[in-house]
Amino acid sequence: KQTVAWLAHLVPYLWSLKRNIEHATGWSILDPLEPVLAACFAGCLLTWFASLVGVGEFRGYGTTIIFGLALFRVHALGSFKAKLDKFAAENEKFRATNKELKSSVDNLHVQNSKLDSANRHLQASISSLDEVREAMQRYAEENNADIGHLMSSLKGSIAEQKKIQEQTQKIQEQTRKLTLEQERAMLMNLFMQFQNQDGELGLCREEFETLIDMLPEGSAARMRSGLRDFESADMDGGGTISIKEFRHWVRKVANMCLDELDGGAGDVEKPLKPLRLDMDSRV
């Protein structure tokens, strides 16, 4: 029992020692290739030093060089793996963030659809009440009837419904703006995720096409169809889209989408005002 307890206390210490050694040297104890190469290289150097002081004769110059180059190569590849693991972890974070943004954008689009439907129902109801009011007014004029109290009540009902409609339109306007902001954030996250796939900052043509294809159906379909041309985003014609160019491109597409939304609201009594995005503001 004492031995088991001693081992139980020793394991965390050994694990901590392993992590400290890996952090200090970059060598993994579980993968002994690099330490073995280092030991062989050190042995060759010691043998060579011994030959210099006349203790022995050294002839393994080629072996020493091979061990040295192999050690350098393996260590370099190990550092690349650590960087790749770091990039992979950051990529996963971007993917998780994009997933949350996509869900949020989709929910906002659902709310927008519901608000659109509510606005249309309200407009139809107001139009019907206006027709009833006009019919009652004609009846009163033709028959000299006193229906002033009914007309006042009807006008009050129409005014109340118009007030509700205006409030709904304001909420819809804010929701549309928030939806577009979320879509812009999603695009910028995708830019950060894809820009370094070829080892260089910025988006090449292939990375740009991949980013566009990664946009979710429905929530950002207008973004996908808005400006798919690579040249429209690559403003300086350098073959790579920088983050500054991409930010400008996203704002341009967002404003095009807002223009489409404004154009589609023409059948409502009071169309929504344009929500122009400031081209000098930050994303």
According to DSSP, residue 73 is labeled H
Full-model pTM: 0.41
Give the whole-angstrom CA distance, residue 68 versus residue 62.
Answer: 10
CB atoms within 10 A of CB 55: 10
Quote the pLDDT of residue 265.
Answer: 46
According to DSSP, residue 241 is labeled B
Give the whole-angstrom CA distance, residue 42 versus residue 45.
Answer: 5
pLDDT in tens, the chain (283 residues): 567 677 677 767 777 776 776 666 655 555 556 666 666 767 777 777 777 776 666 565 666 666 666 666 666 666 556 666 666 676 677 667 667 766 666 776 677 777 777 777 777 777 777 777 777 777 777 676 666 766 677 777 777 777 877 877 777 777 777 777 777 777 777 777 777 665 667 788 888 777 777 676 654 555 555 556 777 777 888 888 888 888 887 777 777 766 665 554 444 343 333 333 333 333 3
CB atoms within 10 A of CB 218: 12
Q: Is-contact 261 183, C-beta < 8 A?
A: no
Chain CA centroid to CA 205, Å: 19
CB atoms within 10 A of CB 170: 12
Q: Which two tokens stand for residue 33?
A: 């290739």
Q: Give the closest residue to 174 by CA, choosing from 112, 98, 257, 102.
A: 112
Give the whole-angstrom CA distance, residue 196 versus residue 185.
Answer: 18
- Identify the three-state secondary structure at position 203: strand
Give the whole-angstrom CA distance, residue 257 versus residue 182.
Answer: 13
Give the whole-angstrom CA distance, residue 274 versus residue 255.
Answer: 9
Give the whole-angstrom CA distance, residue 19 versus residue 29.
Answer: 9
Give the whole-angstrom CA distance, residue 197 versus residue 244.
Answer: 18
At position 267, the amino acid (one-letter code) is D
* Contacts of 62 by beta carbon, 8 Å cutoff, 6+ apart: none
